[in-house]
Structure formats: C-alpha cells, structure tokens
Homo-oligomer: A and B are copies of this chain.
Amino acid sequence: MMQIAVMGYGTIGSGVVEVLEINRERIAKKTGQEIGVKYILDLREFPGDPYEEQIVHDFSVIEKDEDVCLVVEAMGGVNPAYAFVKACLESGKHVVTSNKALVAAHGTELLQIARDRNLNFLFEASVGGGIPLIRPLTQSLAGEEILEICGILNGTTNYILTKMDQEGQDFETALKKAQELGYAERNPEADVEGYDTCRKIAILTALATEREVNFEEVYTEGITRITDTDFQYAARLKTSIRLLGVSRMDGERVSVFVCPVMVQADHPLYAVSDVYNGVVVRGRTVGTIMFYGSGAGKLPTANAVVSDIVEIAGHLSDHIPFGWSAKKQALTPVEEQNFSYFIRFAGQAAEKFADVEAVFAGARLIELEGKDEFAVITGRMSEARCRKLAAAFPDILQTIRCF
C-alpha cells in the first residue's frame, strides 16, 4: 500500500480521491500496489463524507508522517501552497500538483529541490487539464527541437469567445452565461485578462527550452476589449477570434505572448470551441501535432493528477529527469515580434481608407454594411512599427493580431 495525502478538498482534490476510487483496480494492477489516501488537508469539516476520517486541519500531521510518500497539492494559489509543497519535498515526499500559479512562480526552485533529493515534482494537470500534454512534450518529444507552441489554454475564455462567435453575444452577456454555468468565477479577472493563459504558456515554454521563464515578462492581453462587432468582421473574413498563448523559438530568444488572435479557418485551433483546450506543437522533425481535450473540469483534471501519481509509483526511489534549470530564458520583447494586424477605424472608408493605405502600405479593406467604420488587414510588421504607424490615427477602434 502506497500512502498519499491530498492537500485541498475542493473540486480537484475531491476529484483526485474520486478517480483513485473509480480506477482503483486498474491502478493497483498498473502500479503493483494499492494507493491509499491517508490524509486530506482542508480547513473545513466534511461530516458524512466517506473520507471524513481522513480530514486533517494541521499540515504538520502530513509533513511528519513518514508513511506518506507522496502529497497531492490541490489547494490552488501560491500561498500557502508554496510553503507546504516545499516542506513536503524537504521532508522527502514526492509532490504532484495541478497548480499553475505555483509552478509558474516557484517551479524552478521546487524542481531543483526534487532533483537534489532524488524525488519527483510533477504537474501534468497544471496545463491543459486532462489532456496528456506535459508528458508527451517532455518524453515523446524528448530530443526534438520544438519550434513553436501555440495553444488555447483557458476553457473559460474559449467558451466566452465561442458564444460571441456563434451566437453574436457581446462580451458581458457571454461572461454572465459562463458564470451562470460555473465556467467562470465571480471574479473572472485571472481568466479574461489572460493571466491564467500566461502562466500556462510560461510553463510549456520552460519545459520546451529547459530554462526558467519569468511569466511576468510575457506580454499578456486579455479578451475584455473584444466586441461583437469584431466577430462580425471575423465572420466576413471566415476567421475566428481566440485567446492564444504562443511561444516561438527564435534562436537564443523566445517570442512568448498571450493575446486575442484572429485565426484562419485552416488553422488546427480554429475548430477548438466551447470549454475545450487545444495545443499545437511544431517540431523540427515531427512537424505539426495537436493535443485536444477538456482543459478543465473536475474528473479530467483529476485524471491528469492521478497519471502523475501512477508515474511516480514506478519511480519512488529515483528522480525522473524532468523540468527546467535555473538558467533564465531570454524573451523577445513584444515590440520586436512580428504580426499582421486587423485594425478598425471610425468613419467612412470612402473618405479615410486612402489615408490609411498611405501609411499602412498594402492594407486590405474590409467593410461591413451600414456601419460608420471600416477595417483593414495590414501586412506583416513589428509591433513597434505598427504602434508607430497607428499613432497617426486617433480614430482607431480596435487592433487584433492575425495568424
């Protein structure tokens, strides 16, 4: 019997206990032993819960119990998760987490402690929920030169954008619907401002480059300024608008950004709708591959946590080479990154397009009937150049980068 503890008995934590229960026999067969949940750490009581007896309120009970060889951190947030996880590793316990905020902020240090102590610190569930993503990226593509990672990494915003696209809803209406369905939190900032996607693309980039990526340096723009009018243009262009986290390797530097992107219909991510996540990985020899699935949800995410537990069960006394070093990855500033742009201007094209075209050479005009505005798609240029050219037009209504 392998004894584990689960910290946090919310959605993910209780999901982990449930998946361990549902798949008990199969897991025992795979790992050669039963996995027992000895403690569940939570501040609350759970009277009547089948695991009521396992609930503890004091972290030190887990930390001090030498029977517990693995701890699942499913509390979320950086504090006190960071202190607890660090203490677990320092007391010789393997750790599995679903917490992208923790991994993005302290992954380098926690991975190093795990390495030094011949333990494992795994976090498959932190990106892409139930989609097997981190393990294929680090194991199946071990040795491969990753050229690009491009993903829809946040189900909440993808649901909102899908509703805006398919039903013509405005942002506020779609957000409200997402909140009613429990897809968005009451305070949706982390999702809609792109902060969640930012941490996830930072983690994937760090795994691909094997260097530390400071998520605070990643250019991040959310979807709160996307309107139903933008989607009317997108429909006309047979494109859609998605919140993407993107990482492109340019030699020693990496261009990483999070922002709404106008995506062509032939892009593999175009078809990823609703709360689904999709991640496209382009490698030098493997070409383009995509992973798709439920990016969130109790059981899918818990399944990813359990897959890490099962892997560690086969490596209880050795460290699986994994993760990134403390060496810092240089990022390309967004000003030096290149895009083509969808730009909306107030006023009539008949009067103003000539001026726009004189500045944005080769810009393609797009008009919607009956609107006192028009839009263009520009050629490819640096962000700095686009901003400089755009400064000549005080009547710009919107700018969205295009793929």
Contacts and interface: CB of A to CB of B under 8 A. Distances in A.
Interface of A: 18-19, 22-23, 26-27, 30-31, 124, 130-132, 135-136, 139-145, 268, 270-271, 283-294, 297, 299-300, 302-304, 306-307, 310-311, 314, 321
Given A30-B321, A287-B130, A300-B287, A140 B144 contact: no
12 contacts: A18-B285, A26-B142, A30-B142, A130-B289, A132-B132, A139-B139, A141-B303, A283-B303, A285-B299, A286-B304, A287-B297, A291-B291
A290 B289 contact: no
A352 B238 CA distance: 41
B143 A30 contact: yes
Nearest to A22: B285
Nearest to A299: B285
Given A30-B321, A287-B299, A288-B293, 11 more contacts: A22-B284, A31-B143, A130-B285, A130-B287, A130-B289, A132-B136, A135-B139, A140-B307, A270-B271, A289-B292, A290-B292
A144 B306 CA distance: 9
Given A286-B293, A287-B299, A306 B136 contact: no
Nearest to A25: B143
B27 A143 contact: yes
Given A19-B285, A284-B22, A303-B285, A140 B145 contact: no
Nearest to A146: B26
Contact of A294 (B136, B284, B288, B304): B288
A23 B289 contact: no
Contact of A271 (B132, B135, B271): B271
Contacts of A307: 139-144
A30 B19 CA distance: 32
Contact of A132 (B140, B304, B321): B140
Contacts of A283: 303
Contact of A136 (B19, B135, B285): B135
A70 B136 CA distance: 22
Contact of A124 (B140, B294, B321): B140
Given A26-B143, A30-B321, A287 B294 contact: yes
A223 to B, nearest CB: 23
Contact of A306 (B26, B143, B299): B143
A383 to B, nearest CB: 30
A142 B310 contact: yes
Nearest to A140: B132
